[in-house]
């Protein structure tokens, strides 16, 4: 789980003026809108006694902790400690981490890290969202798997004939043509033409059909830290499945997906479109659930990769680059060094941007995986 990226934590329509708890990267966040409609993300951990701000309510622009009523602005600064009296000065230390928040593609994205604006990685460019030719449906799929196993599965071409044979892919023709990974900022893409599934025509009809059927041009992208896009070009049009694989913890992922299609654009076809996405996820789930190790190995040699796995290798290499930059949250150390007695949070930009606040942070930062550098 990487800090210093934009994470599409929640669907826009889920974030309202009623504070919402979102658990992601084993951390608690609160997402809400101020009365001007703007979405915000704070650490959901009141620095007073660790109350959950998400259990509270809004007072104008401020979110009120439900335990002792401390009020925080969208910048994370506490402006009122009721027990001290209305006129009391609020100490600088009374503040929580506030994460830059933007809305794009129907999701609320939070920048979970402390990089200054100019150094932050960008979000993926997905122009289809603004294109009225696409009909959109959305949903979530919850699975008890690590998000990177889910992410790799979403762009894995060679499993299709075996796990989804019949829906797409064809077990009698499972070869994946050679492809080159195209590199994008913070991501990569592969394109292959796959054999369509066999039709259930008998005998001669089957052969006649099979000889003329066109291949299905398929593309798969990944974008750091958790986005995959699958583009399938069917005879009737294009289907795009955008997956945001949000790690709740190391054991659980919620994939917040959007499907975009250029065919059957009436509302009448929505429930069928949704059903098809769930069918695919439900075929993948039992297979991904049994993968061991549960987490994605760091060592590229720990699993045997072949040429059709090039897109996953590109992902693993890119991930390694950010681990080497010290961006990987060390969940093992959180458990062993901090445990259940000391909360840690992902540092927000204010920790670096505002020098006067250097000592203002009550909660420690999440440890990151140690970067081995040559002596």
Phi and psi of 90, rounded to 5°?
-90, 125
First to last CA, the chain: 27
Task: Tell me the C-alpha distance between 151 and 315, whole Å.
Answer: 10
Token representation of residue 229:
């896009």
**Residue nearest to Fe ion as judged by C-beta position:** 284
CA torsion sign for 286, 287, 292, 293 is: negative
Interface ranges with ligand FES (CB under 6 A): 46, 48-49, 51, 65, 67-68, 70
Compute the least distance from the CB of residue 14 to ligand FES, in Å: 24
C-beta closer to ligand FES: residue 295 or 343: 343
Per DSSP, the three-state class of 7 is strand
Size of the site for Fe ion (CB under 5 A): 1
C-beta closer to ligand FES: residue 94 or 150: 94
Task: Tell me the C-alpha distance between 216 and 222, whole Å.
Answer: 20
Helices and strands, number each (H, E), in the chain: 7, 20
Q: Are 331 and 26 in contact (CB under 8 A)?
A: yes
C-beta closer to ligand FES: residue 49 or 332: 49
Question: Of these partners, Fe ion, ligand FES, none, which one is at the site of residue 129 (CB under 5 to 8 Å by kind)?
Answer: none
Question: Of these partners, Fe ion, ligand FES, none, which one is at the site of residue 93 (CB under 5 to 8 Å by kind)?
Answer: none
C-beta closer to ligand FES: residue 64 or 160: 64
Token representation of residue 68:
């002792």
For residue 308, which of 184, 205, 191, 172 has the smallest C-alpha distance? 191
C-beta closer to ligand FES: residue 49 or 279: 49
Phi and psi of 153, rounded to 5°?
-60, -35
C-beta closer to ligand FES: residue 1 or 65: 65
Token representation of residue 252:
């659980």
Question: Of these partners, Fe ion, ligand FES, none, which one is at the site of residue 67 (CB under 5 to 8 Å by kind)?
Answer: ligand FES
Q: Rg of the Cα trace of the chain? A: 23
Compute the least distance from the CB of residue 351 to ligand FES, in Å: 20
Compute the least distance from the CB of residue 66 to ligand FES, in Å: 7
Compute the least distance from the CB of residue 80 to Fe ion, in Å: 51
Task: Tell me the C-alpha distance between 69 and 81, whole Å.
Answer: 7
Pattern 186-225, binding to Fe ion, x per CB under 5 A?
A: ----------------------------------------
Q: How many residues are there in the chain?
A: 375
Span interacting with Fe ion, options 87-95, 141-149, 283-291, 343-351, rule CB under 5 A: 283-291
Q: Are 187 and 221 in contact (CB under 8 A)?
A: yes
C-beta closer to Fe ion: residue 183 or 275: 275
C-beta closer to ligand FES: residue 81 or 155: 81
CA torsion sign for 13, 15, 17, 21 is: positive
Compute the least distance from the CB of residue 69 to ligand FES, in Å: 6
DSSP code per residue over 63-123: EE-TTT--EE-TTSBEEE-GGG-TTSPPPTT-B--EE-EEEETTEEEEEES---GGGSPPP
Compute the least distance from the CB of residue 71 to ligand FES, in Å: 9
Which region, left, alpha or beta, applies to residue 166 given φ > 0 means left and ψ of -120 to 50 means alpha?
A: left
Compute the least distance from the CB of residue 92 to ligand FES, in Å: 17
Element (H, E) at 102: strand 101-104
Compute the least distance from the CB of residue 51 to ligand FES, in Å: 3
C-beta closer to Fe ion: residue 12 or 158: 158
Q: Is 284 in the site for Fe ion (CB under 5 A)?
A: yes
Question: Of these partners, Fe ion, ligand FES, none, which one is at the site of residue 284 (CB under 5 to 8 Å by kind)?
Answer: Fe ion
Span interacting with Fe ion, options 111-119, 215-223, 284-292, 304-312, rule CB under 5 A: 284-292
Compute the least distance from the CB of residue 268 to Fe ion, in Å: 26
Q: Is 152 in the site for Fe ion (CB under 5 A)?
A: no
* Local structure of residue 330 (DSSP, 8 states): -
Task: Tell me the C-alpha distance between 65 and 54, whole Å.
Answer: 8
Question: Of these partners, ligand FES, Fe ion, none, which one is at the site of residue 7 (CB under 5 to 8 Å by kind)?
Answer: none
The contact set with Fe ion (CB under 5 A) reads 284
């Amino acid at each position: 789980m990487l800090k210093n990226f934009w994470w599409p934590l929640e669907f826009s329509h889920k974030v309202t003026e009623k504070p919402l708890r979102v658990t992601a990267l084993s951390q608690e966040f609160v997402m809400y809108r101020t009365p001007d409609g703007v979405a915000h993300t704070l650490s959901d951990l009141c620095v007073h006694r660790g109350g959950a701000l998400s259990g509270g309510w809004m007072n104008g622009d401020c979110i009120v902790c439900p335990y002792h009523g401390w009020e925080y602005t969208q910048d994370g600064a506490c402006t009122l400690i009721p027990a001290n009296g209305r006129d009391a000065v609020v100490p600088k230390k009374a503040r929580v981490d506030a994460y830059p928040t933007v809305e794009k593609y129907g999701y609320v994205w939070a920048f979970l890290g402390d990089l200054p604006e100019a150094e932050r990685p960008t979000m993926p460019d997905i122009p289809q969202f603004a294109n009225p030719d696409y009909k959109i449906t959305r949903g979530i799929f919850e699975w008890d798997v690590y998000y990177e196993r889910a992410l790799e599965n979403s762009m894995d071409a060679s499993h299709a004939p075996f796990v989804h044979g019949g829906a797409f892919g064809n077990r009698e023709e499972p070869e994946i043509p050679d492809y080159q990974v195209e590199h994008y900022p913070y991501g990569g893409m592969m394109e292959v033409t796959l054999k369509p599934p066999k039709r259930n025509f008998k005998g001669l009809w089957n052969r006649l059909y099979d000889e003329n059927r066109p291949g299905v041009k398929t593309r798969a992208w990944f974008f750091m830290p958790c986005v995959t896009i699958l583009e399938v070009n069917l005879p009737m049009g294009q289907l795009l499945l955008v997956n945001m694989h949000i790690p709740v913890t190391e054991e659980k992922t919620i994939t917040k997906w959007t499907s975009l299609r250029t065919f059957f654009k009436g509302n009448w076809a929505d429930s069928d479109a949704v059903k098809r996405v769930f069918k695919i996820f439900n075929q993948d789930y039992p297979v991904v659930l049994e993968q061991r190790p549960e987490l994605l190995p760091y060592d590229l040699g720990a699993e045997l990769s072949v040429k059709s796995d090039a897109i996953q290798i590109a992902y693993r290499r890119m991930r390694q680059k950010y681990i080497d930059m010290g961006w990987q949250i060390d969940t093992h150390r959180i458990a062993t060094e901090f445990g259940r007695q000391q909360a840690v949070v992902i540092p927000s930009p204010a920790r670096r941007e505002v020098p006067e606040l250097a000592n203002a942070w009550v909660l420690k930062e999440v440890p990151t995986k140690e970067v081995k550098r040559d002596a």
